[in-house]
Amino acid sequence: MKKTSGYCAAVNKNRQNKFIKEMKKHGSLYLLMVPGILYFIIIRYLPMWGISIAFFDYKVWLTNLFDNQWLGLENFRSFIQSPSFTRILRNTLGITGLKLLIGSPFPLILALMLNEITQKATKRVIQTITYLPHFLSWVIIYGLFFAMFNQTYGAVNNILVHLGLDKIDILTNKSFFWQTLLASHIWKNIGWGSIIYLASINSIPTNLYESASIDGANRWQKTCHITIPSVLPVFAILFILALGRILNEDFQQVLMFMGGPDAVYMTDVGEVFETYVFRVGLVEARYSYATAVGIFKSIVGLILVINANRIAKKYFNYRGAW
């Protein structure tokens, strides 16, 4: 026992010495982590105490949380058994799936096309035009779509009328709602995502392309056998990050295209977890119930991210965390 305890003490002392040496050597770099760590502790982790109201019948005028009635899992059970559950889950998974499966490849395709442009001026102009919408809010983007596709005086419908064609109801037609969200999402994010892919493409060793040229490969063959396989790990990382982020980003976009929190004519095709939490929690003041729905959404997001990580490891040559 004495030998074992002495060995453990020696190992711990050796680890402490290594830690002290590491901090002395790279202490300034570790200091750069402090703002990020403080951000997550203060903004992300400390407010998690608030999710406990999902298990109570929370009343805002009761200062002590435990003075509220304990409900346990009743709020979760009520949400799962409610008629809105299947509709919200279907809309969330459907809209998210469209954006990820159809929208994610577009930045990569744009980056591959820009990589083939040899004129730098043309390339810069296209890049500037495509990533400019990334800096616009969803309020402005909806205003642009409203000005273009409004059925009464929209520019597109006016052109159709001058051509002798019928007007198209896009913004208030439930059949086009998911397609409109997908189109606006691609238009907003395609340019910004292509910058990351271009950086990855530029980091590919040029000797690979030179060897392929010697073997007689054309541009298309180089793209298929060198460029795309080299950027697939980056695609996997961005795919997983987008999946974790897109469940939260849906809120502003969907809320605007639905017509605001009081609009009910699009809820059957557009209501997602975030908009439902906003409407039930802030508009109807059902705080406990809305918190329970938010926790359920986080569980769904966690399951999606874990599965996406496994798919990326299997098919995209990505070494994930799980």
User: What fold, for 77-315?
Assistant: MetI-like fold (1.10.3720)
User: Mean pLDDT across the stretch 73-88?
Assistant: 86
The pLDDT score that the predictor gives to residue 247 is 67
Q: Give CA separation, 242 vs 31, 225, 239, 246, in Å.
A: 28, 26, 5, 6
The residues pairing with 70 across neighbouring beta strands, listed in sequence order, are: 56
Mean pLDDT calculated for residue range 104-115: 88
Per-residue tokens: 307: 């599965």
The strand pairing partners of 57, in sequence order, are: 69
Q: pTM higher than 0.95 for the full model?
A: no
Count of Cβ atoms closer than 10 Å to residue 219 Cβ: 13
Q: What is the pLDDT of residues 225-276, one digit of tens each?
A: 888 888 888 888 887 777 766 666 678 888 888 875 555 556 678 788 888 8
3-state secondary structure of 259: coil
pLDDT score recorded for residue 261: 52
How far is C-alpha 241 from the geometric centre of its chain's CA atoms? 6
In the chain, what are the domain boundaries? 77-315
Query: What is the structure's pLDDT at 168?
Result: 82
DSSP string, 1-14: -HHHHHHHHHHHHH
